[in-house]
Protein backbone atom coordinates (compact mmCIF):
# COMPACT_ATOMS: atom_id res chain seq x y z
CA UNK A 1 0.00 0.00 0.00
CA UNK A 2 1.37 3.37 -1.01
CA UNK A 3 1.89 5.88 1.77
CA UNK A 4 0.06 9.21 1.45
CA UNK A 5 2.26 11.00 3.98
CA UNK A 6 -0.83 12.95 5.09
CA UNK A 7 -0.83 13.52 8.81
CA UNK A 8 -3.76 11.68 10.49
CA UNK A 9 -4.60 14.85 12.41
CA UNK A 10 -5.86 16.47 9.20
CA UNK A 11 -8.44 15.45 6.66
CA UNK A 12 -10.13 17.16 3.74
CA UNK A 13 -13.90 17.49 3.61
CA UNK A 14 -16.00 18.89 0.80
CA UNK A 15 -18.00 22.00 1.74
CA UNK A 16 -20.65 23.87 -0.19
CA UNK A 17 -19.49 26.92 -2.13
CA UNK A 18 -22.43 28.89 -0.74
CA UNK A 19 -20.81 28.92 2.70
CA UNK A 20 -18.58 31.75 1.48
CA UNK A 21 -19.96 34.77 -0.34
CA UNK A 22 -16.56 36.06 -1.51
CA UNK A 23 -15.83 35.51 -5.20
CA UNK A 24 -12.24 34.38 -5.71
CA UNK A 25 -10.57 34.95 -9.08
CA UNK A 26 -8.35 32.27 -10.55
CA UNK A 27 -5.75 32.06 -13.31
CA UNK A 28 -8.20 30.28 -15.59
CA UNK A 29 -11.01 32.75 -14.92
CA UNK A 30 -13.95 32.76 -12.54
CA UNK A 31 -17.69 33.27 -12.58
CA UNK A 32 -18.79 36.89 -12.71
CA UNK A 33 -22.18 38.40 -12.04
CA UNK A 34 -23.44 40.49 -14.95
CA UNK A 35 -24.39 43.97 -13.74
CA UNK A 36 -25.79 47.10 -15.32
CA UNK A 37 -23.37 49.76 -16.58
CA UNK A 38 -25.50 52.50 -14.99
CA UNK A 39 -27.98 52.57 -12.14
CA UNK A 40 -30.66 55.23 -11.74
CA UNK A 41 -32.45 55.18 -8.41
CA UNK A 42 -35.50 57.28 -9.18
CA UNK A 43 -39.15 56.53 -8.40
CA UNK A 44 -39.71 52.93 -9.45
CA UNK A 45 -41.06 49.97 -7.48
CA UNK A 46 -39.24 46.63 -7.69
CA UNK A 47 -41.51 43.63 -7.17
CA UNK A 48 -40.35 40.12 -6.37
CA UNK A 49 -41.65 36.86 -4.95
CA UNK A 50 -40.15 34.57 -2.35
CA UNK A 51 -41.09 31.95 0.21
CA UNK A 52 -42.02 32.88 3.76
CA UNK A 53 -38.45 32.05 4.81
CA UNK A 54 -36.86 34.24 2.13
CA UNK A 55 -35.91 31.36 -0.18
CA UNK A 56 -36.69 31.41 -3.89
CA UNK A 57 -37.27 27.80 -4.88
CA UNK A 58 -40.57 27.46 -6.73
CA UNK A 59 -41.76 30.54 -8.61
CA UNK A 60 -45.17 29.06 -9.41
CA UNK A 61 -45.89 28.47 -5.73
CA UNK A 62 -44.35 31.75 -4.55
CA UNK A 63 -46.56 33.77 -6.90
CA UNK A 64 -49.51 32.78 -4.70
CA UNK A 65 -47.87 34.48 -1.72
CA UNK A 66 -47.97 38.26 -1.09
CA UNK A 67 -45.53 40.04 -3.36
CA UNK A 68 -42.62 41.97 -1.86
CA UNK A 69 -42.36 45.58 -3.03
CA UNK A 70 -39.21 47.64 -2.76
CA UNK A 71 -40.14 51.31 -3.04
CA UNK A 72 -37.21 53.50 -4.08
CA UNK A 73 -38.93 56.72 -2.97
CA UNK A 74 -39.61 55.37 0.53
CA UNK A 75 -36.07 53.98 0.83
CA UNK A 76 -34.47 57.28 -0.14
CA UNK A 77 -36.83 59.04 2.26
CA UNK A 78 -35.72 56.77 5.12
CA UNK A 79 -32.00 57.10 4.44
CA UNK A 80 -31.38 60.82 4.44
CA UNK A 81 -31.48 63.66 6.95
CA UNK A 82 -32.18 67.35 6.27
CA UNK A 83 -31.24 69.90 8.92
CA UNK A 84 -30.32 73.54 9.41
CA UNK A 85 -26.65 74.41 8.99
CA UNK A 86 -25.33 74.92 12.53
CA UNK A 87 -22.50 77.12 11.27
CA UNK A 88 -24.96 79.81 10.17
CA UNK A 89 -25.67 82.62 12.60
CA UNK A 90 -29.20 82.80 13.97
CA UNK A 91 -29.69 86.31 12.63
CA UNK A 92 -29.03 85.14 9.05
CA UNK A 93 -31.46 82.22 9.05
CA UNK A 94 -34.54 84.36 8.48
CA UNK A 95 -33.05 85.82 5.31
CA UNK A 96 -30.86 83.30 3.51
CA UNK A 97 -31.43 80.02 5.31
CA UNK A 98 -28.63 77.47 4.96
CA UNK A 99 -29.40 73.75 4.90
CA UNK A 100 -27.46 70.48 5.02
CA UNK A 101 -28.71 67.26 3.43
CA UNK A 102 -26.94 64.02 4.38
CA UNK A 103 -27.74 60.97 2.22
CA UNK A 104 -26.67 57.40 2.97
CA UNK A 105 -25.89 56.50 -0.63
CA UNK A 106 -24.26 53.13 0.10
CA UNK A 107 -27.26 51.90 2.08
CA UNK A 108 -29.66 52.99 -0.66
CA UNK A 109 -27.57 51.37 -3.39
CA UNK A 110 -27.25 48.17 -1.37
CA UNK A 111 -31.03 47.99 -0.84
CA UNK A 112 -31.63 48.64 -4.54
CA UNK A 113 -29.21 45.89 -5.59
CA UNK A 114 -30.75 43.47 -3.11
CA UNK A 115 -34.25 44.04 -4.51
CA UNK A 116 -32.98 43.81 -8.09
CA UNK A 117 -31.20 40.50 -7.48
CA UNK A 118 -34.31 39.19 -5.75
CA UNK A 119 -36.40 40.24 -8.75
CA UNK A 120 -34.13 38.35 -11.15
CA UNK A 121 -33.89 35.42 -8.71
CA UNK A 122 -30.08 35.46 -8.72
CA UNK A 123 -29.91 33.02 -5.78
CA UNK A 124 -32.78 30.83 -6.95
CA UNK A 125 -32.42 27.30 -5.62
CA UNK A 126 -30.15 28.27 -2.72
CA UNK A 127 -31.73 27.33 0.61
CA UNK A 128 -31.12 28.77 4.06
CA UNK A 129 -29.42 25.64 5.37
CA UNK A 130 -26.53 25.82 2.85
CA UNK A 131 -25.53 29.38 3.83
CA UNK A 132 -23.10 30.27 6.59
CA UNK A 133 -25.63 32.02 8.81
CA UNK A 134 -28.59 29.86 7.74
CA UNK A 135 -30.25 32.92 6.22
CA UNK A 136 -30.44 33.44 2.46
CA UNK A 137 -31.23 37.16 2.73
CA UNK A 138 -28.21 37.77 4.94
CA UNK A 139 -26.08 35.77 2.49
CA UNK A 140 -27.32 37.86 -0.44
CA UNK A 141 -26.50 41.10 1.38
CA UNK A 142 -23.05 39.74 2.19
CA UNK A 143 -22.53 38.81 -1.47
CA UNK A 144 -23.50 42.32 -2.56
CA UNK A 145 -21.19 43.91 -0.01
CA UNK A 146 -18.20 41.77 -0.95
CA UNK A 147 -18.57 41.48 -4.73
CA UNK A 148 -20.99 43.96 -6.26
CA UNK A 149 -21.24 47.30 -4.50
CA UNK A 150 -17.52 48.04 -4.88
CA UNK A 151 -17.93 47.77 -8.66
CA UNK A 152 -19.97 50.99 -8.68
CA UNK A 153 -19.12 54.60 -8.02
CA UNK A 154 -21.44 57.46 -7.24
CA UNK A 155 -21.97 59.58 -10.34
CA UNK A 156 -24.34 62.45 -9.56
CA UNK A 157 -27.45 63.60 -7.75
CA UNK A 158 -30.54 65.22 -9.24
CA UNK A 159 -32.02 67.57 -6.65
CA UNK A 160 -35.48 69.16 -6.77
CA UNK A 161 -36.75 72.00 -4.59
CA UNK A 162 -40.09 73.80 -4.62
CA UNK A 163 -40.66 76.86 -2.37
CA UNK A 164 -43.95 76.91 -0.45
CA UNK A 165 -45.29 80.19 0.98
CA UNK A 166 -45.70 80.13 4.76
CA UNK A 167 -49.21 81.56 4.32
CA UNK A 168 -50.19 78.18 2.86
CA UNK A 169 -52.39 76.24 5.28
CA UNK A 170 -50.39 73.70 7.26
CA UNK A 171 -46.97 75.10 6.45
CA UNK A 172 -44.63 76.06 9.25
CA UNK A 173 -41.36 77.93 9.31
CA UNK A 174 -38.35 75.69 8.55
CA UNK A 175 -40.62 72.67 8.13
CA UNK A 176 -39.91 70.98 4.81
CA UNK A 177 -41.55 67.98 3.13
CA UNK A 178 -40.11 65.06 1.16
CA UNK A 179 -42.30 64.87 -1.96
CA UNK A 180 -41.73 62.88 -5.18
CA UNK A 181 -44.51 64.83 -6.92
CA UNK A 182 -42.29 67.90 -7.41
CA UNK A 183 -39.97 65.98 -9.76
CA UNK A 184 -40.07 68.12 -12.90
CA UNK A 185 -37.68 70.38 -14.76
CA UNK A 186 -39.14 73.60 -13.31
CA UNK A 187 -38.12 72.51 -9.79
CA UNK A 188 -34.64 71.23 -10.66
CA UNK A 189 -32.25 72.90 -8.20
CA UNK A 190 -28.54 73.18 -9.00
CA UNK A 191 -27.20 75.75 -6.54
CA UNK A 192 -25.64 73.38 -4.05
CA UNK A 193 -22.24 72.04 -3.01
CA UNK A 194 -21.53 68.36 -2.49
CA UNK A 195 -19.14 66.51 -0.24
CA UNK A 196 -18.60 62.74 -0.58
CA UNK A 197 -16.69 60.72 1.98
CA UNK A 198 -13.71 58.68 0.66
CA UNK A 199 -15.56 55.36 1.01
CA UNK A 200 -18.69 56.50 -0.85
CA UNK A 201 -20.84 55.77 2.20
CA UNK A 202 -22.56 59.14 2.36
CA UNK A 203 -22.95 62.34 0.42
CA UNK A 204 -23.58 65.77 1.90
CA UNK A 205 -25.33 68.63 0.11
CA UNK A 206 -25.07 72.21 1.34
CA UNK A 207 -27.41 74.85 -0.06
CA UNK A 208 -29.42 77.98 0.64
CA UNK A 209 -33.16 77.83 0.10
CA UNK A 210 -34.34 79.90 -2.84
CA UNK A 211 -36.63 82.18 -0.80
CA UNK A 212 -36.16 83.83 2.58
CA UNK A 213 -36.77 81.50 5.51
CA UNK A 214 -39.12 84.04 7.04
CA UNK A 215 -41.38 83.81 3.99
CA UNK A 216 -41.30 80.24 2.75
CA UNK A 217 -40.45 76.62 3.49
CA UNK A 218 -40.00 74.08 0.69
CA UNK A 219 -40.69 70.60 -0.64
CA UNK A 220 -37.71 68.60 -1.91
CA UNK A 221 -36.77 65.36 -3.63
CA UNK A 222 -33.69 63.75 -5.19
CA UNK A 223 -32.60 60.99 -7.58
CA UNK A 224 -29.28 59.15 -7.41
CA UNK A 225 -27.07 57.94 -10.24
CA UNK A 226 -24.23 55.39 -10.17
CA UNK A 227 -21.82 54.06 -12.81
CA UNK A 228 -19.91 50.82 -13.11
CA UNK A 229 -16.17 51.12 -12.59
Residue 165 lies in a domain: yes
Residue 15 lies in a domain: no
Full domain range(s) for residue 134: 35-228
- How far apart are alpha carbons 214 and 107 in whole angstroms? 35
Residue 162 lies in a domain: yes
Residue 18 lies in a domain: no
| Percent share of the chain, pLDDT over 70 | 86
Average confidence (pLDDT) over 122-135: 91
- How far apart are alpha carbons 220 and 182 in whole angstroms? 7
pLDDT at 35: 78
- How far apart are alpha carbons 93 and 84 in whole angstroms? 9
Q: How many domains does the chain have?
A: 1
| Percent share of the chain, pLDDT over 90 | 75
Res 14 pLDDT > 60? no
Query: Would you place residue 5 in the very low, low, confident or very high pLDDT band (cuts 50, 70, 90)?
Result: low
Residue 22 lies in a domain: no
Average confidence (pLDDT) over 106-122: 97
Residue 12 lies in a domain: no
| 28-75: pLDDT as tens digits | 444 557 778 999 999 999 999 999 999 999 999 999 999 999 999 999
Phi, psi of 25 (to 5 degrees): -80, 150
pLDDT at 28: 46
Residue 6 lies in a domain: no
Taken in order 180, 186, 189, 190, the sign of the CA dihedral is positive
pLDDT at 98: 97
| 177-218: pLDDT as tens digits | 999 999 999 999 999 999 988 877 899 999 999 899 999 999
pTM: 0.87
Residue 116 lies in a domain: yes
Amino acid sequence: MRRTYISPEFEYKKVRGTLSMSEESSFFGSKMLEIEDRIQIKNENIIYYQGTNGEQIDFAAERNLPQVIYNTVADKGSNHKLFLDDSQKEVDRNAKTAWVLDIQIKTILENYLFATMKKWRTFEGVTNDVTYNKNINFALLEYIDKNVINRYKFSRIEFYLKPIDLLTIGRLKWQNNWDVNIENSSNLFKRFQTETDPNDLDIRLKFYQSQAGSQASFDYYFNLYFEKL
